[in-house]
Amino acid sequence: MTTRERTTATARPRMGGMRTNRTRYVPKRKVCFFCANKNEVIDYKNPEKLRNYVSDRAKIDPRRRTGTCAKHQRALATAIKRARHLALLPFIADHSFTAPVTSAPSANAPSQQPTP
**3-class state of residue 79 by DSSP:** helix
Tell whether 66 is covered by a domain: yes
Tell whether 72 is covered by a domain: yes
Distance of alpha carbon 100 from its chain centroid, rounded?
Answer: 30
Number of domains in the chain: 1
Distance CA 17, CA 65 (A): 34
Q: Which residues pair with 60 in a beta bridge?
A: 54
23 or 75, which is more confident? 75
* pLDDT tops 90 at residue 21: no
Tell whether 113 is covered by a domain: no
Supply the pLDDT for residue 57. 92
Supply the pLDDT for residue 2. 58
106 or 46, which is more confident? 46
CATH number, domain containing residue 80 = 4.10.640.10
Supply the pLDDT for residue 79. 97
Tell whether 105 is covered by a domain: no
What percent of the residues of the chain are helix, what percent strand, and what percent coil, each to the nearest 5?
A: 35, 0, 65
pLDDT one-digit tens code per residue, 64-103: 999 999 999 999 999 999 999 999 999 998 755 566 667 7
Domain membership of residue 77 as a residue range: 41-93
Tell whether 21 is covered by a domain: no
Tell whether 22 is covered by a domain: no
Supply the pLDDT for residue 6. 55
Tell whether 13 is covered by a domain: no
Residues whose CB falls within 8 Å of the CB of residue 88, separated by 6 or more in sequence, listed in order = 44, 45, 47, 50
Supply the pLDDT for residue 11. 56
